[in-house]
């Protein structure tokens, strides 16, 4: 039997809420066994960009990353957020190790090819170094990935954190049973974004297409669901989308993604 590793991606408004983030990190630290954290931070990056009058452009939930915005997301994701998260996890007696995709050559990517839209310095993942991650796990370290990768040619790239979580999860399935959580401020995928009780409990490939066509699932939820199905198709055992409490309270209402 393969050992279990829990991979948790945290994002949304929880990153912006100091108390909510602290509560989540305390819960994350109490997860028994092997665990990995992947964090976003797009709203924090957008706040800084706006202050600097460099308002970012978004298309279908994905950020257009020009040179100036690449500097901003690198500072916010790999610096301020990543190190504050690691420091809080150490406070909670979770021996965390913060890193970008460039550290340990953990995640190699390429600049997204321009077809219809030029996303700038957005990175699409080519390779996850499972050996680097396994080394950390075997030494009782909990990796904490931010949303920055590299192309091994000296160029940093902004990569969707949901994608990083899915790619890391898929890369570890040969050696571990992998459960993937996507946590944010909502209770799951909602039929009505204004109604917390409208959680869709299960989404499969067919129902996803219907929900997408009906515009019930749109914007930032689109790439999240696409990453979920990619991870399942590549051996991930289970995927749950819900609020931050779902990682320790499995009875909480949430969405389960199935093939």
Name the CA radius of gyration of the chain, rounded.
17
Boundaries of every domain in the chain:
4-257
CA distances 19 to 9, 16, 22, 26, 235, Å, are 18, 9, 5, 11, 35
- For 96-237, list the strands marked E by DSSP: 96-99, 107-111, 123-128, 142-145, 148-150, 156-158, 177-184, 202-203
Which residues have CB under 8 Å from 131's CB, separation 6+?
none
pLDDT tens track of the chain, all 259 residues?
A: 899 999 999 998 899 899 999 999 999 999 999 999 999 898 888 888 889 888 777 776 677 899 999 999 999 999 999 999 999 999 999 999 999 999 999 999 999 999 888 999 999 999 999 999 999 999 999 999 999 999 999 999 999 999 999 999 999 999 999 999 999 999 999 998 889 899 999 999 999 999 999 988 887 788 899 999 999 999 999 999 999 999 987 667 899 999 8
Q: Quick one: fold of 4-257?
A: Carbamate kinase (3.40.1160)
Give the end-to-end CA distance of the chain in Å, rounded to a whole number: 23
């Amino acid at each position: 039997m393969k050992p279990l590793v829990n991979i948790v991606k945290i994002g949304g408004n929880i990153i912006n809420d100091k108390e909510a983030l602290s509560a989540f990190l305390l819960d994350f630290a109490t997860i028994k066994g092997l665990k990995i954290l992947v964090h976003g931070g797009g709203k924090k990056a957008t706040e800084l960009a706006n202050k600097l009058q460099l308002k970012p452009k978004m298309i279908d939930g994905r950020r257009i990353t020009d040179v100036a915005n690449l500097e901003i997301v690198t500072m916010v994701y790999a610096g301020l957020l990543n190190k504050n998260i690691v420091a809080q996890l150490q406070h909670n007696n979770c021996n965390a190790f913060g890193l970008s995709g460039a550290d340990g050559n953990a995640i190699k990517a390429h600049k997204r090819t321009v077809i219809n839209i030029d996303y700038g310095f957005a990175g699409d993942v080519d390779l996850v170094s499972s050996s680097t991650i396994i080394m950390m796990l075997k030494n009782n370290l909990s990796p904490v990935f931010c949303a920055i990768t590299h192309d091994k040619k000296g160029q940093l790239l902004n990569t969707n954190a949901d994608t990083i979580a899915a790619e890391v999860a898929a890369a570890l399935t040969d050696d571990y049973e992998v459960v993937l959580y996507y946590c944010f401020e909502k209770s799951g995928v909602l039929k009505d974004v204004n109604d917390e009780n409208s959680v869709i409990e299960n989404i499969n490939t067919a129902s996803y297409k219907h929900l997408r066509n009906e515009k019930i699932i749109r914007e930032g939820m689109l790439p999240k669901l696409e990453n979920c199905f990619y991870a399942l198709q590549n051996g991930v055992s289970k995927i749950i989308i819900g609020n931050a409490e779902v990682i320790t309270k499995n009875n909480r209402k949430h969405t389960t993604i199935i093939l």
